[in-house]
Chain A
Amino acid sequence: MSRGIVAYGAYLPHYRLGRAAIGSALGSGGGKGTRSVASYDEDTTSMGVEAARVALAAAPGAAPMGVYFATTAPAYLDKTNASTIHAALGLDTAALAVDMLGAVRSGIGALRAAVDASAPTLAVLADVRTGLPGGADERDGGDAAIAFLMGSGEQVVAELVAAASASSEFLDRWRVPGESHSRVWEERFGEQAYVPLVEQAVADAVKQAGIAADAVDHVVVAGTHARVVRRVQAMLGAGEDFTATIGNTGTAHAGLLLADALDRATPGQLIALVSVADGADVLLLRATDALPALQARNAASVAALVAGTAAEVDYATFLTWRGVIRREPPRRPDPFRPESPAAYRGRDWKYAFVGSRCTACATLHLPSQRVCVQCGAVDQMAPESLAGRTGRIATFTVDHLAYTLNPPVVVTVVDFEGGGRIQCELTDVDPATVAIGQPVEMTFRRLYTAGGVHNYFWKARPARAAAQA
Chain B
Amino acid sequence: MASNGIRDRVAIVGMGCTPFGEHWDKSTDDLLIDASQEALASAGVPLDDIDAFWLGTMGSGQSGLTLSRPLKIDYKPVTRLENFCATGSEAFRNACYGVASGAFDVAMAIGVEKLKDNGLSGLVGIPGRTDGTQVDLTAPAMFSLLAPAYAKKYGVTDEEMKEVLTRIAWKNHYNGARNPRAQFRKEVAKETIACSPLVAGPLGIFDCSGVSDGSAAAIIVRAEDAYRYTDKPIFVKALSFVAGPAAGPISPDYDYTTFEEVSRSAADAYRQAGVTDPRNELAMAEVHDCFTPTELVLMEDLGFAERGTAWKEVLAGTYDLEGTLPVNPDGGLKSFGHPIGASGLRMLFEAWLQLRHEAPADRALRTVSEEGRTLAMTHNLGGAPGECVSFVSIVGSELSA
Residues of B close to A189: CB separation below 8 A: none
Complex Cα distance, B137 from A409, in Å, reads: 9
**A397-B201 in contact (CB<8A):** yes
Residues of B close to A216: CB separation below 8 A: none
Residues of B close to A203: CB separation below 8 A: none
Q: Which of A421-446 contact B (CB under 8 A)?
A: 421-425, 436
Chain B: interface size category: 35 or more
Interface bits B261-301 vs A (CB < 8 Å: 1, else 0): 00000000000000000000000000000000000000000
Partner of A399 from B137, B149, B249, B254 at Cβ < 8 Å: B137
In the complex with contacts A335-B136, A421-B251, A411-B141 CB distance below 8 A? yes
Shortest C-beta distance, A381 to chain B (Å), equals: 13
- 4 extra interface residue pairs, beta carbon distance < 8 Å, beyond A349-B131, A411-B145, A456-B132: A336-B127, A399-B140, A419-B252, A457-B133
Shortest C-beta distance, B244 to chain A (Å), equals: 10
**A333-B120 in contact (CB<8A):** yes
Shortest C-beta distance, A444 to chain B (Å), equals: 12
Q: Is B69 among interface residues, defined by CB-CB distance under 8 A?
A: no
Interface bits B235-257 vs A (CB < 8 Å: 1, else 0): 00000000001010111101110
Partner of B131 from A338, A363, A365, A420 at Cβ < 8 Å: A338
Shortest C-beta distance, B328 to chain A (Å), equals: 24
Complex Cα distance, B251 from A419, in Å, reads: 8
**A413-B145 in contact (CB<8A):** yes
**B131-A345 in contact (CB<8A):** yes
Complex Cα distance, B253 from A413, in Å, reads: 12
Q: Is B152 among interface residues, defined by CB-CB distance under 8 A?
A: yes
Q: Is A398 among interface residues, defined by CB-CB distance under 8 A?
A: yes
Complex Cα distance, B199 from A400, in Å, reads: 5
Residues of B close to A331: CB separation below 8 A: 119-121
Interface bits B360-395 vs A (CB < 8 Å: 1, else 0): 000000000000000000000000000000000000
Closest residue to A404 on the B side, CB-wise? B136
Residues of A close to B144: CB separation below 8 A: 397, 399
**B249-A423 in contact (CB<8A):** yes
Complex Cα distance, B199 from A369, in Å, reads: 33
In the complex with contacts A332-B120, A373-B245, A415-B131 CB distance below 8 A? no
Q: Which of A336-392 contact B (CB under 8 A)?
A: 336, 338-339, 342-343, 345-346, 349-350, 363, 365-367, 369, 373-374
17 contacts between A and B (CB under 8 A): A331-B119, A336-B127, A336-B130, A363-B251, A394-B256, A397-B144, A399-B138, A399-B141, A400-B197, A400-B200, A411-B145, A413-B256, A421-B249, A421-B251, A425-B135, A436-B152, A457-B132
In the complex with contacts A409-B136, A411-B137, A401-B200 CB distance below 8 A? yes
Shortest C-beta distance, B201 to chain A (Å), equals: 4
Interface bits B160-196 vs A (CB < 8 Å: 1, else 0): 0000000000000000000000000000000000000
Q: Which of B92-143 contact A (CB under 8 A)?
A: 119-122, 124, 127, 129-133, 135-138, 140-141
In the complex with contacts A373-B247, A419-B252, A395-B145 CB distance below 8 A? yes
Shortest C-beta distance, B150 to chain A (Å), equals: 10
Interface bits B17-36 vs A (CB < 8 Å: 1, else 0): 00000000000000000000
Query: How many residues on A have C-beta within 8 angstroms of the other chain's C-beta atoms?
Result: 48
**B200-A339 in contact (CB<8A):** no
Partner of A401 from B119, B127, B138, B249 at Cβ < 8 Å: B138
Closest residue to B127 on the A side, CB-wise? A336
Report, nearest first, the 9 A-B pairs whose CB atoms are least far apart: A338-B132, A399-B141, A397-B201, A455-B132, A342-B131, A331-B121, A342-B130, A339-B130, A415-B252
**B135-A411 in contact (CB<8A):** yes
Q: Is B64 among interface residues, defined by CB-CB distance under 8 A?
A: no
Complex Cα distance, B135 from A373, in Å, reads: 20
Q: Is B316 among interface residues, defined by CB-CB distance under 8 A?
A: no
Interface bits B189-228 vs A (CB < 8 Å: 1, else 0): 0000000011111000000000000000000000000000
Partner of B133 from A330, A336, A349, A374 at Cβ < 8 Å: A349
Q: Is A396 among interface residues, defined by CB-CB distance under 8 A?
A: yes
Q: Is B59 among interface residues, defined by CB-CB distance under 8 A?
A: no
In the complex with contacts A415-B252, A425-B135, A401-B121 CB distance below 8 A? yes
Q: Is A447 among interface residues, defined by CB-CB distance under 8 A?
A: yes
Complex Cα distance, B198 from A342, in Å, reads: 35
Residues of A close to B132: CB separation below 8 A: 338, 342-343, 350, 447, 453, 455-457
Closest residue to A416 on the B side, CB-wise? B252
Closest residue to A415 on the B side, CB-wise? B252
Q: Is A209 among interface residues, defined by CB-CB distance under 8 A?
A: no
Residues of B close to A373: CB separation below 8 A: 245, 247, 250-251
Q: Is B317 among interface residues, defined by CB-CB distance under 8 A?
A: no
Q: Which of A447-469 contact B (CB under 8 A)?
A: 447, 453, 455-457
**A423-B252 in contact (CB<8A):** no
Interface bits A294-318 vs B (CB < 8 Å: 1, else 0): 0000000000000000000000000
Closest residue to B247 on the A side, CB-wise? A373
Residues of B close to A422: CB separation below 8 A: 249-250
In the complex with contacts A350-B131, A402-B136, A333-B201 CB distance below 8 A? no
Partner of A330 from B121, B198, B201, B249 at Cβ < 8 Å: B121
Q: Is B148 among interface residues, defined by CB-CB distance under 8 A?
A: yes
Residues of A close to B131: CB separation below 8 A: 338-339, 342-343, 345-346, 349-350
Q: Is A403 among interface residues, defined by CB-CB distance under 8 A?
A: yes
**B122-A401 in contact (CB<8A):** yes
**B148-A423 in contact (CB<8A):** no
Complex Cα distance, B131 from A366, in Å, reads: 14
Closest residue to B118 on the A side, CB-wise? A333
Closest residue to B256 on the A side, CB-wise? A395
Complex Cα distance, B245 from A411, in Å, reads: 22
**B124-A333 in contact (CB<8A):** yes
**A400-B135 in contact (CB<8A):** no
Shortest C-beta distance, B250 to chain A (Å), equals: 5
